[in-house]
């Protein structure tokens, strides 16, 4: 799960449009009157920090100690927990739990996803909100299989190259991170696998766990979901 440990400071270079998505997340949380919020797999705080800056009471859970260090450096007052979303136990319950940025499908199979759903159900207050943002893999694969993208900071001292391709059970990304040193560039490489989940099995698992899907969107801008064209699948669920 802690696949991003070696590229922690490069992570923010790839996901540069999060600030545009935060208003929709805030609107949903306020619509459902969520007061105490937890984000699972909060990474480098890309969502957690701006949500806190919007005045929301939010905490983060992250398995990677390196990512936690990055987030704490950016926002020392943010409360963070180190833990695994499949088995975490916190001493309080929440009005809302968020799993954004495809984090849920970094789990390896539906059994692990179901473990996360069950733990989250138990950590939510009655009527609590469960907010999922997932890839719509068929559309993503159709449009970006065997492609490459490049990101860098302003002085090009860190360059990130990502190559994507479909494997048997996974949507696989190869991350190559080049950091400038006195003699050239140091290279780090990781492989990130997104589980090619079944939407039908996910919906069944949510319902079996005790969630009701209240709303579905095609992205974090609030656009309608279309199975054949939406790159994302956003499920707004409620504990019943």
The answer to whether domain 5-136+197-239 and domain 139-194 are alike in fold is: no
Q: What is the pTM of this model?
A: 0.92
In the chain, where the domains are located: 5-136+197-239, 139-194
pLDDT 10s digit of each residue in the chain, 240 long? 455 666 666 777 887 889 999 999 999 999 999 999 999 999 999 999 999 999 999 999 999 998 999 999 999 999 999 999 999 999 999 999 999 999 999 999 999 999 999 999 999 999 999 999 999 999 999 998 888 899 998 898 999 999 999 988 999 999 899 989 888 898 888 888 999 999 999 999 999 999 999 999 999 999 999 999 999 999 999 999
The CA distance from 74 to 69, in Å, is: 9
Domain 5-136+197-239 has CATH 3.40.50.150: yes
CATH for 139-194 (2.20.25, 1.20.120, 3.60.21, 1.10.3470) = 2.20.25
């Amino acid at each position: 799960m802690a696949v991003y440990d070696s590229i922690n400071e490069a992570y923010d270079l790839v996901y540069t449009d999060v600030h545009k998505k935060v208003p929709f997340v805030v609107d949903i949380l306020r619509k459902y009157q969520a007061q105490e919020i937890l984000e699972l797999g909060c990474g480098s705080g890309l969502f957690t920090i701006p949500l806190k800056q919007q005045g929301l009471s939010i905490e983060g859970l992250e398995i990677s100690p390196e990512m936690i260090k990055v987030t704490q450096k950016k926002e020392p007052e943010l409360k963070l927990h180190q833990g695994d979303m499949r088995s975490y136990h916190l001493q309080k319950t929440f009005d809302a739990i968020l799993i954004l940025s495809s984090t849920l499908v970094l789990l390896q199979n539906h059994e692990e996803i179901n473990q996360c759903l069950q733990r989250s159900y138990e950590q939510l207050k009655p009527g609590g909100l469960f907010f999922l943002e997932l890839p719509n893999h068929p559309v993503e694969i159709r449009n970006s299989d065997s492609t490459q993208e490049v990101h860098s900071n302003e002085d090009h001292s860190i360059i990130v190259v990502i190559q994507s391709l479909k494997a048997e059970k996974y949507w696989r990304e190869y991350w190559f991170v080049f950091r400038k040193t006195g003699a050239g560039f140091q290279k780090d490489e990781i492989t990130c696998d997104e589980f090619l989940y079944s939407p039908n099995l996910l919906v069944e698992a949510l319902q079996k766990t005790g969630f009701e899907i209240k709303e579905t969107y095609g992205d974090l801008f609030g656009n309608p979901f279309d199975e054949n064209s939406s790159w994302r699948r956003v499920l707004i669920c409620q504990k019943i």
